[in-house]
A and B are shown apart, each in its own frame.
Chain A
Amino acid sequence: MGNQKASSALLAVLLTAAVSACGDVGQPVDLAKVESAQRPTPQNAGPPEPGNDEPDPKCGDPTASLRPSGTDTPAGSTMAKIKERGYLIAGIDQNTYLFGFRDPSTGRLGGFDIDIAKQIAQALLGDPEKVQFRALTSAQRIDALKEGDVDVVVRTMTMTCKRWQDINFSSEYYTAGQRVLVNESSRATGIQDLRGRKVCASKGSTSIDALAEVGAKPVGVDNWSDCLVMLQQGQVEAMSTDDTILAGMAAQDPNTKIVGPRFTTEPYGIGVPKANEDMVRYVNAVLDQIRNSGAWTRSYARWLGELGSPPSPPSPTYKD
């Protein structure tokens, strides 16, 4: 009897268990489901705008400038007007580390380009500080010269035949070339290893067009330092542009390295308004002094030591 009771109780338990096990109980409820995190990107980052397919006009050697004619400043010349004003107006960059940038801790401008602008002021006005700096974007450089808003533009500006049509260039004061910046751990040894990979460059630059040509997947941003941000955040494999700019990026992050040979040549010149040929000749005379006096090498060592020991400055070519 006791046994029977026990077995019927057991049966009841088993039945209940069976019934509760039978029905579909569904999945545990997840109140806050997130499929994936949305990564932040620099504003306006994205695929590059379609490049300019117009072939560059021919002008022979784009590095050939006007022959210098001494450092005299005759009355009525552009230089005399600047002297009268009392200061030089130079278009520069405030965002490119080592070339033209504002040190956040001191608020002062510094860099290789800034040094060159100061040297011109020193020659013309006797005081390297007599410069009014105007921050320009890459896109604003030509217009600022055309409007006559600035006397010179010293801003990592590549001399091209197309630009020669709108402005004058001084003789070449620096030779840059496009290279690649990757993370220290990357196995890429040059641009050839980055085919099909995401590589960052600034929109509208010559660098981004070159990337598409070698088969990398270009990602365009507004500003060069946005590329460093994307590289640090792991959103691109590499960034690629002039080695001058890359040196500035590498200096901000010891976990990156510049790899591969230069695969383009970018001669930098100082932009001068088209009409002011006297100023071009004057600036070229100053550049000669800078090259010969060792000022060029000092400036290089101070800002660009990262790239190795200073090479000899580019020798000027003239078309008369």
Chain B
Amino acid sequence: MIATGLVTLSLLTGIVGTIMAQEKRDTITNLTDYREPLSSAAQQIYRSLSDADATAATAFLNGGVEPGDLRARYELDIAQAGAALSKATSDKGIASEEDRIVKTLSTQLPVYTGLVETARANNRQGFPAGAAYLREASGLMREKILPAASRLYQIDSERLSEEQDDANSFPIVTTLLVVGLLVALIATQRYLTRKTNRVINKGLLVATIAVGVAFLWGATALTAQAILVDNGRDRGSRQVDVLIQARIAALEARADETMTLVARGEGGDYEKHFVQASRRLAGRDGNGGLLAEARELTAGWEHEQQVRAAGRQAKEWLSRHGEIQRLDQGGSYQDAQAMAIGDGARTAATAFTELDEGLVRAITSGREEFRAGTVNGGRALLLLAPGMTLLAVVAAAGIIIGIQDRLREYR
């Protein structure tokens, strides 16, 4: 009776423990190989599209024939957005909201590119209608496409966070079973000792040790894994999230800056939006906002310097923007334009490019930290699943042998 119960319990514990360990590893593999890349793809859609918007406006300001490098950058942006979009659609757990978002993105993107080309064709002929087409394109981007892309990223990054919680959840059933089994084994041995005056039953002792080892191993491995995955989140994905939002704010503001000039004196709305986006990025005085948040999160980590540099570049850019505004309102449209899109050392274009590159470097090292933490977390669980099975079998065998010894004596 007791023997059957114990054997069943130990085998059950073995199965549950193995499944738990395997699931944890799967979750972690899923985090690094699927969930995080997906959230990064969603981020990529947003980034490429807002960069396309800003680049199209910059190229437009250059006059009839846009410079080759800007044309190439716009084309690359659209290609990247398309590629990332095709990945974002492959989400297995497709919910109706995501479905709708992806549909919006994939139906409106071709419309957007069509409008941009019409704007180009008109601009080449020197027609002001080109600017009207570009404004229509940019409006479509801002009112329909970018909000959808931003929602998609939000959904994906929430999923990532949920799955990190999942990976670190406490395995309550397994723990109860292991502890229960351990208690039952000890109780049985004490009972036998009292009944037979024999201190040690070798089989049961082996079983107890096996379960004890399983308990310690499991506890150590899971704790180590949780710490590592948490590290990946704190030094990695959480910072990346803030940095990405900062980058998005910067890109939006840059598009506003150029569109203000495209609108040629009728860009008041773009300037208003620039102020909003730049405050989100760097606060009222250039020292706050998302960049300050990122500075706090990265304080003491390796890429703190990159984030600090990005903050300095943001300040530089915002002061350049002030100059553009002064020049434009003072009637020096062409100087304002040179300040906005020129490639000299002291132009807004240069300051913005440096800011963007700084953010990209910080985001990349954040992603590396995430991967390092999470992959090492997964490694902490190495062999835990087969180990659980093995130990359960050893425990069951020990119990059977132990009880058989006892029965043989009885006969």
Which A residues have a C-beta under 8 Å from some C-beta of B? 32, 34, 37-38, 40-43, 89, 93-97, 101-107, 132-137, 222-223, 225-226, 228-229, 232, 248-249, 252-253
B284 within 8 A of A: no
Q: Does A40 contact B115, Cβ atoms closer than 8 Å?
A: yes
Contact, CB under 8 Å: B331 / A41: no
CB–CB A37/B331 < 8 A: no
Tell me if B266 counts as interface (CB < 8 A to partner A). yes
8 Å CB interface, B244-288 against A: 264-266, 268
Q: What 8 A-B pairs are tightest by C-beta distance, nearest first?
A: A135-B265, A43-B139, A225-B132, A105-B64, A94-B264, A132-B331, A252-B127, A229-B132
Q: Which of A32, A102, A136, A222 contacts B333 (CB 8 A)?
A: A102
Expressed in whole angstroms, the minimum distance between the Cβ of B235 and any Cβ of chain A is 41
Our pick among B132, B144, B266, B330 for the contact of A42 (Cβ within 8 Å) is B132
Q: B135's contact among A42, A105, A107, A134, by CB below 8 Å, is which?
A: A42
For residues 76 through 106 of chain B, which have their beta carbon under 8 Å from a beta carbon of chain A? 103
Distance of A136 Cα from B267 Cα, bound (Å): 10
A97 touches B127 (CB 8 A): yes
Starting from the known contacts A38-B144, A228-B132, 11 additional A-B residue pairs (CB-CB under 8 Å) come to A32-B103, A94-B264, A95-B264, A97-B127, A97-B128, A102-B333, A103-B126, A132-B332, A225-B132, A249-B129, A252-B122
Q: Is the CB of A104 within 8 A of B130?
A: yes
Could you say which residues of chain A place their CB within 8 Å of the CB of B183?
A: none
Q: How far is the CB of A254 from chain B (nearest CB, A)?
A: 11
CB distance from A122 to the nearest CB of B (A): 18
How large, as a class, is the contact surface on chain B?
A: 35 or more
A102 touches which one: B103, B139, B264, B332 (CB < 8 A)? Answer: B264
In Å, the complex CA distance between A228 and B131 comes to 11
Considering only CB atoms, which chain A residue lies closest to B112 in the complex?
A40
Q: Would you give the shortest CB distance from B130 to chain A, in whole angstroms?
A: 6
- Check if B265 sits within 8 Å of A94, measured CB to CB: yes
A313 to B329 CA separation, bound complex (whole angstroms): 33
A38 to chain B: which residues have CB within 8 Å? 107-108, 144
Q: Which residues of B does A touch, CB under 8 Å?
A: 60, 63-65, 103, 107-108, 111-112, 115, 122-133, 135-137, 139-140, 143-144, 264-266, 268, 329-334, 337
Most buried by A among B103, B127, B144: B127
- Evaluate contact between A222 and B266: CB separation under 8 angstroms: yes
A-B contact pairs, 28 of them (CB 8 A): A34-B107, A38-B144, A40-B111, A40-B112, A40-B136, A40-B139, A42-B136, A42-B139, A94-B265, A97-B128, A101-B128, A103-B126, A104-B127, A105-B64, A106-B63, A133-B333, A135-B331, A135-B333, A136-B265, A223-B266, A225-B132, A226-B135, A228-B132, A229-B132, A229-B133, A232-B129, A252-B125, A253-B129
Residues in B whose Cβ lies below 8 Å from that of A32: 103
> Which residue of chain A has the shortest Cβ distance to B60 in the bound complex?
A104
* B265 near A252: Cβ-Cβ < 8 Å: no
Contacts of B64 in A (CB 8 A): 104-105
- Tell me the nearest residue of chain B to A41, going by C-beta: B136
Q: Tell me whether A37 and B107 are in contact (CB under 8 A).
A: yes
What is the chain A residue whose CB lies nearest that of B110?
A37
Q: Which residues of A lie under 8 Å from residue B108 when comparing CB positions?
A: 38
Residue of A nearest to B331 (CB): A132
Chain A proximity of B95: nearest CB distance (Å) = 16
In the complex, which residues of chain A have a beta carbon less than 8 angstroms from the beta carbon of B111?
A: 37, 40
Bound Cα distance A91, B126 (Å) = 22
Find chain A residues with CB under 8 A from B112 CB.
40
Closest to A104 in B: B123
A97 shortest CB reach to chain B, Å: 5
Residues of B within 8 A of A223 (CB): 132, 135, 266
Query: Is B129 touching A134 in the complex (CB atoms < 8 A)?
Result: no
CA distance A52 to B123 in the complex (A): 36
Closest chain A CB from B307 CB (angstroms): 35
Which A-chain residue is minimally distant from B132 (CB atoms)?
A225
**Whole-angstrom distance between the alpha carbons of A228 and B265 in the complex?**
19
CB distance from A242 to the nearest CB of B (A): 16
Q: B117 to nearest A CB, angstroms?
A: 13
- Which B residue sits closest to A43, measured CB to CB? B139
| B341 vs chain A, min Cβ distance (A) | 12
Determine how close the nearest CB of chain B comes to the CB of A144; give it in whole angstroms: 11
- Give the CA-CA distance A229 to B334 in the complex, in Å: 26
> Cβ of A137 and Cβ of B334 under 8 Å apart?
no
Is the Cβ of B136 less than 8 Å from the Cβ of A226? Answer: yes
Known: A38-B107, A97-B128, A252-B129. A134 touches B266 (CB 8 A): no
Question: Which residue from chain A places its CB closest to the CB of B337 in the assembled complex?
Answer: A107
The reply to whether A225 and B129 contact each other, CB–CB distance below 8 Å, is yes
Residue on A with the closest CB to B130? A104
Contacts of B137 in A (CB 8 A): 40
CB of B107, distance to nearest CB on chain A (Å) = 7
Contact A105:B129 (CB < 8 A) given known A37-B107, A43-B136, A135-B264 = no
Interchain nearest-CB distance for A74 vs B (Å) = 27
Give bound CA distance, A245 to B135, whole Å.
19
Residues in A with CB closer than 8 Å to B129 are 97, 225, 228-229, 232, 249, 252-253
Given A94-B333, A252-B127: A104 in contact with B265 (beta carbons within 8 A): no
> How far is A214 from B125 in the complex, measured between Cα atoms in Å?
35
B126 touches A105 (CB 8 A): yes
| C-alpha spacing A228/B135, complex, angstroms | 13
What is the CA–CA distance of A42 and B136 in the complex, to the nearest angstrom?
5
Contact partners of B133 in chain A: CB under 8 A: 229
Give Cα A307–Cα B63 distance, bound, in whole angstroms.
28
Chain B residues within an 8 Å CB radius of A253: 129
Q: Is the CB of A95 within 8 A of B136?
A: no
Most chain-B Cβ atoms within 10 A of its Cβ — which of A38, A40, A89, A249? A40
B107 near A89 with CB under 8 A, answer no
Contact B132 A93 (CB under 8 A): no
Contacts of B124 in A (CB 8 A): 105
Cross-chain contact of A105 among B63, B136, B143 (Cβ < 8 A): B63
Residues of A within 8 A of B126 (CB): 103-105
Bound together, the chains give a CA A43 to CA B129 distance in angstroms of 14
